[in-house]
Amino acid sequence: MANISCTGITKSYGAHPVIDGLDLTVADHEFVVFLGPSGCGKSTMLRMIAGLEEVTAGRITIGGTDVTDLHPGARGVAMVFQSYALYPHMTVADNITFGLRRLGVPKDEVARRLRDVAAMLGLDALLDRKPKNMSGGQQQRVAMARAMIKTPKVFLFDEPLSNLDAKLREKLRTEIRKMHNALKTTTIFVTHDQLEAMTIADRIVLMRAGAIEQQGTPDEIFDRPATRFVADFIGSPTMNFRMGIIRNGVAEAGSIRIPLPPGRFAVAEGQEVELGLRPARMGLVAGDAPGAIHGRVVLIENMGAEGQVIAEVNGAEMSFVTKEFRRLAPGDAVSFALSPDHLHIFDRASGRSLLNKDA
């Protein structure tokens, strides 16, 4: 078990840097998720920590040892790939134990550890099978067992669930988190799925175009996005954005008027801003309630326990989520409002959040 520290990591393919001077530390026992849109450099970053890609500049240490120039096998890390990457010419048992056997670990020790991980991941019945005759979920379990059996200092996962169907994805996600709670091995997990990141992470590192856009706990990322990009990327349904202006301590956007708690935002009178309203932080209100937004229902999406209501407000669509969606029908007039303290305000030019740090 170990902490990880990356300083000034740069990676270029040719002249164009894919990662540019990235600094990151991961504490011992921490479960960190690299999140970001496809192509932002998550895999590249992970693969540099694994040793599968060379860094162009910068240092990586694991558990206090500088591993920047070490072979992947000498770093004490284990990796699980999106494509499972099982050895097709070996049985499941041989796949899992290859690394230990290669190191010359005694036979009975190998057998004991194989029994342990197989039991943990429910693979007992599959040990003599070849990978190609197994389902994706089973194959990924084997890959996880192969990573676990070596009791590495660090686990690296590169989109391990992306090839699985939704239900299995949820199940394995839970298992991975449970496994981490039991083993406490420092883990970096890469995904482009914000829900996966929110549910599994101790800390999310949200990346954009090779740089860290924001890092923090899932709650911080969700409720205090540092930029419009983060606010837009996190949360489903996605946040509503409206161009607005600050007048007399009220954020105005068309007919929308949202009073600002004093001191919460670093805004000036008359400043042109962009407002962010999270659908999940809104609800139905009486028509004369303060801060009420009035619109006309366009569409209702039933999600079971809740429904997403898409309403037309000032000629543009705005969505919110409510449990009472069954009372509404397309064409109805509707009034809804943001819960207090859940407004986001972004600078139009830089996209940075104007929320005060201590607010």
Partner 1 sequence: MVSLILRNLARVTLAFLVLIALTPILWTTLGAFKRLRDIVTPVPKLFFSPTLENFATILGSPTIRDGLVNSVIVVAVAVGLGAVLGIPAAHTLARHARRWGDDAQFFVLSLRFMPPVAIAIPFIVIYLDLGIYDSLGGLILVYLVTTISTVIWLAVPAFERVPREIEEAAAMEGCREAEVFWRFSLPIAAPSLFGALVFTFVLVWNELLLALTLAAQNATLPVVAASITSLGKEVPWGVINAATVVLVLPPLVFIGLLMGLINSMVRAGGPKKG
Ligand X SMILES: Nc1ncnc2c1ncn2[C@@H]1O[C@H](COP(=O)(O)OP(=O)(O)O)[C@@H](O)[C@H]1O
Under the rule (CB under 8 A), what is the footprint of partner 1? 50-52, 71-74, 77-79, 81-83, 85-91, 94, 98-99, 101-107, 110, 146, 150
Q: Which is nearer to Mg ion, 43 or 139 (CB)?
A: 43
Q: Which is nearer to ligand X, 18 or 121 (CB)?
A: 18
CB of 3 to partner 1, least distance (A): 20
In the chain, the largest separation of any two C-alpha atoms, in whole Å, equals 77
Interatomic CA distance for residues 19 and 47, integer angstroms:
12
CB of 71 to partner 1, least distance (A): 7
Contact 199, 219 (CB under 8 A): no
- Tokens 């690299």 map to which residue? 34
CB of 200 to partner 1, least distance (A): 22
Does position 43 bind Mg ion by CB under 5 A? yes
Selection from ligand X, partner 1, Mg ion, none that 132 binds (CB < 5 to 8 A by kind) is none
- Please identify which residue in 2, 24, 43, 93 interacts with ligand X, judged by CB under 6 A: 43
Interatomic CA distance for residues 346 and 352, integer angstroms:
5
How many chain residues are in contact with Mg ion, going by CB under 5 A?
1
Selection from ligand X, partner 1, Mg ion, none that 50 binds (CB < 5 to 8 A by kind) is partner 1
Sign of CA dihedral 8, 233, 154, 94: negative
CB of 289 to ligand X, least distance (A): 43
Does position 44 bind Mg ion by CB under 5 A? no
Q: Which is nearer to Mg ion, 35 or 246 (CB)?
A: 35
Per-residue string for binding with ligand X, 3-42, x by CB under 6 A? ----------x----x-----------------x-xxxxx
Interatomic CA distance for residues 243 and 252, integer angstroms:
9
Sheet order of strands, 4-13 included: 16-26, 4-13, 57-62, 65-66
Residue nearest to Mg ion (CB): 43
Residue nearest to ligand X (CB): 43
Does position 54 bind ligand X by CB under 6 A? no
Interatomic CA distance for residues 25 and 29, integer angstroms:
12
Strands 57-62 and 65-66: antiparallel
Nearest to 196 by CA among 3, 33, 67, 26: 33
**Residue 182, burial from CB neighbour count under 10 angstroms (0-12, 13-18, 19+):** exposed
**Residue 89, burial from CB neighbour count under 10 angstroms (0-12, 13-18, 19+):** exposed
Q: Which is nearer to Mg ion, 159 or 274 (CB)?
A: 159
Subset of residues 167 to 226 that bind Mg ion, contact rule: CB under 5 A: none
Strands 77-80 and 154-158: parallel
CB of 104 to partner 1, least distance (A): 6
Enumerate binding residues for ligand X (CB under 6 A): 13, 18, 36, 38-44
Enumerate binding residues for Mg ion (CB under 5 A): 43
